[in-house]
Amino acid sequence: MLEYENKTVQEVVACTCDRCQKRMTPDDHDSGWHERVSLSLWGGFGSIFGDGNKVSLDLCPQCLRDTLGAWLRITPPEPDGLAYQERLRSEWDGREADRPRPPRGPAGSDDA
Ligand SMILES: [Zn+2]
């Protein structure tokens, strides 16, 4: 026979983008809730973020694309999805010329 006890569980009901402050909720399907990104990590010994520091971030889909879009690996459902990813990378290259660039094409085909 199994025995049970009641527990209190916390559930995320809203998320605010750290970049643009957009509030996203699961009930508002246009808010970006289902494509939001949240990350959280603890800096280890010698971490570039500081030993033991907590690093966290919440981004809406628009800010995810605008900040990290050039490095996102987007698997297209259709052939023109590749063109979309290349356009994202081109936009990034034009805006942030002094920033690191994502790899292009398969290994060994560097166009440098
Ligand atoms: Zn945002």
Is residue 1 domain-resident? Answer: no
Q: List the domain range (segments joined by +) for residue 64.
A: 15-95
Say whether pLDDT at 29 is over 50.
Answer: yes
Query: Does residue 104 belong to any structural domain of this protein?
Result: no
**Residue 54: inside a domain:** yes
Q: Is residue 110 part of a domain?
A: no
Residue 37 above 80 pLDDT? yes
Dist. CA 57–CA 55, nearest whole Å: 7
- 43 occurs within a structural domain: yes
Q: Are 63 and 70 in contact (CB under 8 A)?
A: no
For ligand 1, the distance from its centroid to the CA atom of residue 35, given in whole angstroms, is 11
In the reported structure, the alpha carbon of residue 63 is separated from the centroid of ligand 1 by a whole-number distance in angstroms of: 4
Please write the tens of the pLDDT for every residue from 67-103.
999 899 887 776 676 777 777 778 777 765 565 555 5
Q: How many domains does the chain have?
A: 1
Do residues 88 and 67 make contact, with C-beta atoms less than 8 angstroms apart? Answer: no
Among 91, 39, 40, which residue's Cα sits nearest to residue 65?
91
End-to-end alpha carbon distance in the chain: 68
Residue 107 located in a structural domain: no
